[in-house]
Amino acid sequence: MKRTFIINLLLLLSFSMFAQKKDYKPIIVGFYNLENLFDTLDNPNVNDDEFTPKGFRNYNGNIYFDKLNKLSTVISQIGVEINPDGPAILGVAEIENDTVLHDLVKQKLIEKRNYQYGLV
């Protein structure tokens, strides 16, 4: 009985001596409304006339790329105080198509994160 107790005690101590501290890195999940991220091309299947160069907003390439730059700046800062890699998953709303998502994830500030995307 004593022998079994001593063996169990030694086993218990040996397992606890080799336990390593776990270093967890939180994963950030976010959501961001891109507020009418449209390209400048007129798509007859989408109500996007106001976001074309001939529309009442005079939406052009300069405005589009400026908006992409500003959005990528904000996205690059989401959650970095918790995880420097930013969001692992980011849901977005108010986009015209997958082309604008492609243009967004290729922006300099977030390109290194290798975001993959799909439309739902």
For the stretch 6-50, pLDDT in tens is 777 677 766 655 556 778 889 999 999 999 999 999 999 999 999
Alpha carbon distance 44, 38 (integer Å):
13
The band of 2, judged by pLDDT with boundaries at 50, 70 and 90, is confident
pLDDT for the residue 29: 97
| Phi, psi dihedrals of residue 80, rounded to the nearest 5° | -70, -20
Q: Three-state DSSP class for 34?
A: strand
In a 13 Å sphere around the CA of 36, the CA atoms on its Cβ side amount to: 11
Q: How large is the greatest C-alpha to C-alpha distance in the chain, in angstroms?
A: 91
Give the total residue count for the chain. Answer: 120
Q: Which pair of structure tokens corresponds to residue 105?
A: 């994830």
For the stretch 56-79, pLDDT in tens is 999 999 999 999 999 999 999 999
Q: Is the dihedral of CA 39, 41, 42, 45 positive or negative?
A: negative
pLDDT for the residue 19: 57
Nearest alpha carbon to residue 78 among 24, 26, 22, 23: 26
Alpha carbon distance 66, 101 (integer Å):
15
What is the DSSP-derived secondary structure letter of residue 35? E
For the stretch 76-120, pLDDT in tens is 999 999 999 999 999 999 999 999 999 999 999 999 999 999 888
